[in-house]
Chains A and B, each alone.
Chain A
Amino acid sequence: MPNEPVAYYLPDPSPWPFVAAVAVLCILLGIALTVNGLFFGSVFLLGGFALFSYMLFEWFGALAQENLTGLHNEQVDKSFRYGMLWFIASEVFFFLSFFGALWYIRNISVDWLGGTGYLAATHDLLYNQFEATWPTAGPGFVGEQFTPMQAWGVPAFNTFILLSSGATITWAHWGLKAENRKLLTWGLIATIALGLLFVFLQAIEYQEAYQHMNLTLRSGVYGSTFYVLTGFHGLHVITGAIMLSAILGRSLKGHFTPKNHFAFEAVAWYWHFVDVVWLALFLFIYLV
C-alpha cells in the first residue's frame, strides 16, 4: 500500500493580493497624473508606494509565519522552488530580449542604414550620408549631438561595487551554512549597503549624462538602449536590495537554519543573477 498523498497546504483567504493591486493602481495613476503636471499625482504616487511597502511587509511576514508554524510541507517547498525557476526563466528572457535588440541594432539594422546587407538600398535611397558606426546619433544627428558613456570612471567602479556585493552575499551564504550568525548578518548588511551605493552612483551617472553629455532617452537608438538596459537593471538592484532587507530581518530573528533556508538561497541566487547581468551590460554597453 503506497503512502497517503501529501496534502497540499491551502492558505486562508488573504487580503494582500487585493491590496497589491490597489497599490499598483495608485502608483500607475500617480505616474500618469504627475507626468501631466496635476497636483494629486504625487499624493497618489507616494500613497501607492507606501501601501505597496506595507503590503510587502505584511505578506512577507505572513509567509514567514506559515513557514515557522510548520504549514509548509514538502510539496509546498517544492512548489516554491519550481516557482523560483519560472520566475527566473521570465527574468532571463526579459533581459535576453533587450540584449537581443541591442545586438540586432548594432549588427544588422545600423549596417543596412550604412549601405551593406539585405536592406542596403535604405542607405542609397534615404540616408546616403550615414556611416555605419556605433555609437550613432542616427542619420544627420537626428538624436542630436551627445557624448557616449565611457566605461572607465563611475561605470567601472560600479562594476567593482556590484562584484564585491556578490562576494559579500557569498560570505553570508557560507556563514549560514556554518551557523556563523555574525558572518551571515554582516555579509547581508554589507551586500545591501553595496547595492544601495551602486544605485546612488548610477543616479549620479544619469545626472551627469543628462546635464553635461546631452545623453538622454531622446538620443536616438543609443540613448534608448542605454537607458532601457541600465534602467531596468537598476530597478532589479533596488528590488534585490528590498528582498535582501527582508532576508536580513528574518536572519536577525533566527528564522534560517543550515537545513531550512530556501528564502535566503533564492534571494542570494537572484542577487548573483543581477550581478551577472551587470557584467554583461558592462561588457556589451560600455566596453565593446
Chain B
Amino acid sequence: MSLTFMLPALILLGLILFALGEALYFLSKDHGDKDKTRVVQALSVRVTLALILFVLLILAGFFGFIQPSGLTP
C-alpha cells in the first residue's frame, strides 16, 4: 500500500483506539447517579472514524493504491 494511503489509515486507526480507550475510561468513572453520556459519545466517535477509515480503504483499492501480493518461494 502506498504511503499516501497508509499514513492517513494509521492516523485514523490511532484516533479510533484513542476514542475506544476514552470510552473505557469513562466506563470506569461514570456510575451511580451520574446520568452522563460520555461513554456512548466516545463510542459514536469511534464508529464514525471506523466508517471513514473503511471508505478510505475501499477508495485505495478502487484507485489501485493497494496491489495484491503474489506468492514466492
Contact = CB atoms under 8 A, between A and B. Distances in A.
Q: Do A and B bind each other?
A: yes
A287 B40 contact: no
Contacts of B44: 170, 174
Contacts of B73: 129-131, 136-141
Interface in B16-65: 16-17, 20, 23-24, 27-28, 31-33, 35, 37, 39-40, 43-44, 46-47, 50-51, 53-54, 57-58, 61
A275 B16 CA distance: 11
B46 A276 contact: yes
B24 to A, nearest CB: 6
A85 B24 contact: yes
A269 B32 CA distance: 18
- Which of B16, B23, B43 has the largest number of chain A CB atoms within 10 A? B43
Interface string A38-67: 000000000000000000000000000000
Interface residues of A, number: 54
A118 B21 CA distance: 36
Contacts, number: 112
Contacts of A280: 13
B57 to A, nearest CB: 7
A163 to B, nearest CB: 5
B66 A287 contact: yes
B72 interface: yes
Interface of A is mostly: helix
A156 B58 CA distance: 8
Interface string A261-288: 0100110110011011001101100011
Contacts of A265: 27, 39
A208 interface: no
Interface in A239-272: 258-259, 262, 265-266, 268-269, 272
Given A148-B69, A148-B71, A156-B58, A276 B17 contact: yes
A90 B29 CA distance: 20
Interface of A: 74, 77-78, 81-82, 84-85, 88, 129-131, 133-141, 145-148, 150-152, 156, 159-160, 163, 166-167, 170, 173-174, 177, 258-259, 262, 265-266, 268-269, 272-273, 275-276, 279-280, 282-283, 287-288
Interface of B: 1, 6, 9, 13, 16-17, 20, 23-24, 27-28, 31-33, 35, 37, 39-40, 43-44, 46-47, 50-51, 53-54, 57-58, 61, 66, 68-73
List the 5 closest A-B pairs by CB distance, nearest first.
Answer: A173-B40, A81-B28, A166-B47, A133-B72, A131-B72
